[in-house]
């Protein structure tokens, strides 16, 4: 066991400390992402947002957590108890374990594996199981339909996300996330990948069930969707999982398209700022896009959602793989 943990040259105690710090930082980030979302949405809608609990309302996320922790978990009489409780645990756990391969700085990563992007894509693809399990185990038609909606929605947009990632891999020539960040990208390559950045940003909205693609739930037809029967900490785990997935997808966007921990525009003078800070700022920028989209766009109809994924994004991303490979061959920039 010790040999397994020290495979990357770190002792077991250091590994455990790193894992604890990562999980703690992620939980804190999730808590205050909810605060930031409330503040940004209230500013866009000319409201105050949280102001009463603590200075500037900073303790509101903690108050919300204590409220959910103190409530009773109600399980429907006809529900499958084991699957019902396992679904939110699975959703939240998957959002945490994906961070094992995320490099937040040049040497700051738990497992710098050669197939890190495949690991991330596999973990994000498994997230649909938690939603399906919740919808089926609740023994509610509303929850079941919400789970089915989410399954088809997430699978549909994962296809486009996979093809977008292929375009990035053609440029980087590696599945290692650190190599993807440090791979040289001339200005024309950045422009070549710009349409795929747009496709990826829209796809991660659908992948995380965020507005305007929050179709697994709907006030008019499905009530709370797959979460309609959940309460207390079981609901909180779904809630935490959603926001942790938002941060994870923002980190993926940062690594694939925004240069990871590197300073923007390759400006060497900005290297005095630690890479972790640049990484956090870029992730925050993508998270602002999540919140801005929620405040701006109305919810799509389900047929519009499927049409966008299968009839627009899929052929576009498939064609762009060919375009990217062709441009790299013509310019002699294919990685060896």
Task: Indicate if the pLDDT at residue 15 is higher than 90.
Answer: no
Q: Does one domain contain both 164 and 108?
A: yes
Rg of the chain (C-alpha set) = 21
Rounded distance between C-alpha atoms, residue 244 and residue 240, angstroms: 6
Domain final position from 47, 70, 93:
70
Structure tokens at 329: 């061959």
Q: Does one domain contain both 177 and 47?
A: no
Q: Does one domain contain both 165 and 259?
A: yes
Count the domains in the chain. Answer: 2
Classify residue 335: in a domain, yes or no.
Answer: no
Structure tokens at 211: 């507005």
Grade residue 4 by pLDDT with cuts at 50, 70 and 90: very low
Percentage with pLDDT > 90 across the chain? 56
The pLDDT score that the predictor gives to residue 62 is 93
The pLDDT score that the predictor gives to residue 103 is 93
Least Cα distance to 178 among 268, 109, 267, 83 occurs for: 109
pLDDT (mean) for 311-327: 95
Classify residue 219: in a domain, yes or no.
Answer: yes
Classify residue 336: in a domain, yes or no.
Answer: no
Classify residue 202: in a domain, yes or no.
Answer: yes
Question: Could you report how far apart the first and last alpha carbons of the chain are, in Å?
Answer: 36
Q: Does one domain contain both 157 and 277?
A: yes
How many CA atoms within 13 Å lie on the side-chain side of 82? 0
Lowest mean pLDDT across 212-216, 296-300, 328-332: 212-216
**Residue range 76-90, pLDDT digits in tens:** 888 899 999 999 999
**Residue range 106-128, pLDDT digits in tens:** 888 888 889 999 999 888 888 88
Q: Does one domain contain both 18 and 113?
A: no
Classify residue 193: in a domain, yes or no.
Answer: yes
**Residue range 190-220, pLDDT digits in tens:** 999 999 999 999 999 988 888 888 877 766 6
SS3 assignment for 86-134: HHHHHHHHHHHHHHHHCCCECCECCCCCCCHHHHHHHHHHHHHHHHHHH
Classify residue 170: in a domain, yes or no.
Answer: yes
The pLDDT score that the predictor gives to residue 86 is 94
Grade residue 33 by pLDDT with cuts at 50, 70 and 90: very high
Residue count (the chain): 336
Domain that holds residue 14: 1-70
Rounded distance between C-alpha atoms, residue 139 and residue 236, angstroms: 20
Mean pLDDT of the chain, nearest integer: 89
Q: Does one domain contain both 28 and 110?
A: no
User: 31-67: b or e for each residue (b if 16 or more CB lie within 10 Å)?
Assistant: bbbbbbbbbbeeeeeeeebbeeeeeebeebbeebbee
Q: What is the pTM of this model?
A: 0.92
Q: Does one domain contain both 132 and 268?
A: yes
Classify residue 248: in a domain, yes or no.
Answer: yes
Percentage with pLDDT > 70 across the chain? 96
Rounded distance between C-alpha atoms, residue 128 and residue 90, angstroms: 10
Least Cα distance to 251 among 99, 94, 25, 92 occurs for: 99
Q: Does one domain contain both 241 and 322?
A: yes
Classify residue 322: in a domain, yes or no.
Answer: yes
**Residue range 161-193, pLDDT digits in tens:** 999 999 999 999 999 999 999 998 899 999 999
Q: Does one domain contain both 130 and 227?
A: yes
**Residue of higher predicted confidence among 124 and 307:** 307
The pLDDT score that the predictor gives to residue 162 is 93
Number of H helices, E strands in the chain: 12, 0
Rounded distance between C-alpha atoms, residue 50 and residue 154, angstroms: 32
Q: Does one domain contain both 276 and 238?
A: yes
The pLDDT score that the predictor gives to residue 220 is 67
Q: Does one domain contain both 63 and 183?
A: no
Domain final position from 52, 70, 88:
70
Rounded distance between C-alpha atoms, residue 245 and residue 154, angstroms: 13
The pLDDT score that the predictor gives to residue 107 is 82
Grade residue 10 by pLDDT with cuts at 50, 70 and 90: low
Q: Does one domain contain both 92 and 207?
A: yes
Domain final position from 70, 90, 112:
70
The pLDDT score that the predictor gives to residue 266 is 77
């Amino acid at each position: 066991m010790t040999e397994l943990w020290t495979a990357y040259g770190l002792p077991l105690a250091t590994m455990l400390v790193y894992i604890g710090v990562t999980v703690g930082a992620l939980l804190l980030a999730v808590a205050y992402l909810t605060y930031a979302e409330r503040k940004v949405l209230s500013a866009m809608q000319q409201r105050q947002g949280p102001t009463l609990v603590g200075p500037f309302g900073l303790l509101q996320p903690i108050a919300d957590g204590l409220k959910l922790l103190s409530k009773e978990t109600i399980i429907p009489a006809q529900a499958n108890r084991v699957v019902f409780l396992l679904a939110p645990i699975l959703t939240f756990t998957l959002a945490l374990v994906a961070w094992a391969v995320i490099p937040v700085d040049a040497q700051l990563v738990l497992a710098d594996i050669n197939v890190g992007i495949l690991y991330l894509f596999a973990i994000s693809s498994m997230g649909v199981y938690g939603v399906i399990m919740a919808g089926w185990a609740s023994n509610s038609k509303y929850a079941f339909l919400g789970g089915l909606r989410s399954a088809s929605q997430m699978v549909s947009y994962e296809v486009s996300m996979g093809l977008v990632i292929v375009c990035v891999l053609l440029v980087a020539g590696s599945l290692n996330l650190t190599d993807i960040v440090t791979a040289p990208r001339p200005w024309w390559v950045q422009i070549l990948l710009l349409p795929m950045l747009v496709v990826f940003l829209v796809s991660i909205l659908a992948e995380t069930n965020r507005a305007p693609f929050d179709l697994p739930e709907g006030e008019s037809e499905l009530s709370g969707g797959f979460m309609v029967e959940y309460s207390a900490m079981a609901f909180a785990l779904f809630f935490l999982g959603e926001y942790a997935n938002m941060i994870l997808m923002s980190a993926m966007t940062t690594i694939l398209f925004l240069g990871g921990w590197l300073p923007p525009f390759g400006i060497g003078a900005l290297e005095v700022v630690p890479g972790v800070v640049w990484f956090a700022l870029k992730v925050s920028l993508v998270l602002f896009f999540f919140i801005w989209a929620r405040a701006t766009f109305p919810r799509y109809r389900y047929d519009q959602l499927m049409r966008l994924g299968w009839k627009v994004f899929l052929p576009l991303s498939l064609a762009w793989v060919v375009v990217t490979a062709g441009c790299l061959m013509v310019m002699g920039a294919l990685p060896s």
